[in-house]
Structure 1
Amino acid sequence: MNDPAPGATANVPAGPGVSLASARGRWIVFATVLGSSMALLDSTVVNVALPTIGVDLGADMAVLQWTANAYLVTLAGLILVGGALGDRYGRRRIFVLGVVWFAAASLLCGIAPNAGVLIAARALQGVGGALLTPGSLALIQGSIAAGDRARAVGLWSGFGGVGAAVGPFLGGWLVDGPGWRWVFLLNVPVAAVCAPVALRHVPESRDPQAHGRFDVLGAFLGAAALALLTYALIEARSGAPLVIASAVGSVLLAVAFVYAERHRPDPMVPPDIFASRQFTAVNLVTLFVYAAFGGFFFLVVLQLQVVSGYSALAAGAALLPTTALMLLLSARSGALGERIGPRIPLTVGPLLCATGMVLMLRVGPDASYVRDVLPALVVMGMGMVALVAPLTATVLSSVDPGRAGLASGINNAAARAAGLLAVAALPLLAGMGPEAYRSAPEFDAAFGRAMLWCAGLLVVGAAVAWATVRTPVPGAGCHPQCHTYCATTSPPLEPKRTAEP
Structure 2
Amino acid sequence: MTATNVETTRVVRTSWLPLIVVVLTQIQASFAVNALTVSMAGITTDLDTPATSVGTAITAGTFGMAAFILLGAKIGSRFGTRGVFQIAVVIHGLAMLGVALSVSPTMLFIAQASSGAVIALIAPALTVFIATNYHGEQQGKAIGLLAAAIPAAGVLALLLAGWFANTIGWRWSFVLMVGLALINLLLSFRLKRVPAQPGLSIDWAGAILAAIAVILLSFGFSGLATWGVVLATPQAPFEVLGISPAPILIIAGLIVGQAFFMWLRRRAHEGLPRIFDLRVLATGSERAVTACMATMLFVGTAANFLIPLYIQVVQGRSSIETSFAIIPYTLSIFLSSTFVAYLYGRFAPRVLATAGFVVVASALTLLAFTVRGEWSQAFVVAGLILLGLGQGAIVALVFNTLLSAAPKQLAGDVGAWRGLVHNLSGSVGIAVASAFAVGILASSIATSAAEHPEISDELIAQVNLDEVNFITNEALAELLATRASGPELDAAIAVNAEARLHALKISLLSLAAISLLAIVPATRMPRQRAGDLPEKLEPDDDDLIDPVDEQEALG
TM-score by length of 1: 0.84
CA distance in 1 between partners of 2:56 and 2:31 (Å): 18
Aligned equivalent of 1:131, options 104, 114, 121: 121
Partner of 1:101: 91
The structure that has the greater radius of gyration is 2
Partner of 2:176: 186
Tell me if structure 2 keeps the 8 A contact 1:289–1:457: no
**Is residue 2:295 matched to residue 1:288?**
yes
CA gap 1:414/1:16 in 2 versus in 1, 3 angstroms: farther
Q: Output the amino acid matched with 2:402.
A: V
CA deviation string 1:451-475 (max 9, x = no partner): 1121111111123323x33x43354
Partner of 1:169: 159
CA gap 1:158/1:421 in 2 versus in 1, 3 angstroms: closer
**Is residue 2:410 matched to residue 1:403?**
yes
CA deviation string 1:142-192 (max 9, x = no partner): 246889655655666666664443332222112112212122221111112
Tell me if structure 2 keeps the 8 A contact 1:295–1:422: yes
Aligned equivalent of 2:500, options 443, 458, 479: 443
Partner of 1:459: 516
Instruction: Report the CA distance between 1:140 and its aligned residue.
Output: 3.6
CA distance in 1 between partners of 2:137 and 2:348 (Å): 27
Partner of 1:219: 210
Tell me if structure 1 keeps the 8 A contact 2:96–2:175: yes
CA gap 1:233/1:161 in 2 versus in 1, 3 angstroms: closer
**Aligned positions of 1:379-390 closer than 5 A:** 379-390=386-397
Partner of 2:30: 40
Instruction: Report the CA distance between 1:208 and its aligned residue.
Output: 3.7
CA distance in 2 between partners of 1:231 and 1:246 (Å): 10
CA distance in 2 between partners of 1:153 and 1:218 (Å): 30
Instruction: Report the CA distance between 1:377 and its aligned residue.
Output: 1.0
Tell me if structure 1 keeps the 8 A contact 2:264–2:277: yes
CA distance in 2 between partners of 1:495 and 1:74 (Å): 26
TM-score by length of 2: 0.76
Partner of 1:307: 314
SS of equivalent residue, structure 1 residue 369: coil
Tell me if structure 2 keeps the 8 A contact 1:174–1:183: yes
Tell me if structure 2 keeps the 8 A contact 1:353–1:380: yes
Partner of 1:5: none
Q: Output the amino acid matched with 1:55.
A: T
SS of equivalent residue, structure 1 residue 393: helix
Identity among equivalent pairs (%):
20
CA distance in 2 between partners of 1:18 and 1:424 (Å): 51
CA gap 1:280/1:45 in 2 versus in 1, 3 angstroms: same
Instruction: Report the CA distance between 1:111 and its aligned residue.
Output: 0.6
Tell me if structure 1 keeps the 8 A contact 2:280–2:407: no
Unaligned runs of 5+ in 1: 1-14, 481-493
CA gap 1:99/1:379 in 2 versus in 1, 3 angstroms: same
Tell me if structure 2 keeps the 8 A contact 1:99–1:195: yes
Instruction: Report the CA distance between 1:439 and its aligned residue.
Output: 3.7
**Is residue 2:281 matched to residue 1:269?**
no
CA distance in 1 between partners of 2:514 and 2:420 (Å): 18
Superposition CA RMSD, Å: 3.1
Unaligned runs of 5+ in 2: 233-238, 443-466, 474-496, 541-555
Give the count of matched residue pairs: 467
Tell me if structure 2 keeps the 8 A contact 1:307–1:365: no
**Aligned positions of 1:65-84 closer than 5 A:** 65-84=55-74
CA gap 1:303/1:495 in 2 versus in 1, 3 angstroms: farther
Instruction: Report the CA distance between 1:232 and its aligned residue.
Output: 4.6
CA gap 1:24/1:462 in 2 versus in 1, 3 angstroms: closer
Partner of 1:490: none
Partner of 1:10: none
CA distance in 1 between partners of 2:321 and 2:383 (Å): 16
CA gap 1:244/1:209 in 2 versus in 1, 3 angstroms: same
Q: Output the amino acid matched with 1:247.
A: I
CA distance in 2 between partners of 1:17 and 1:117 (Å): 53
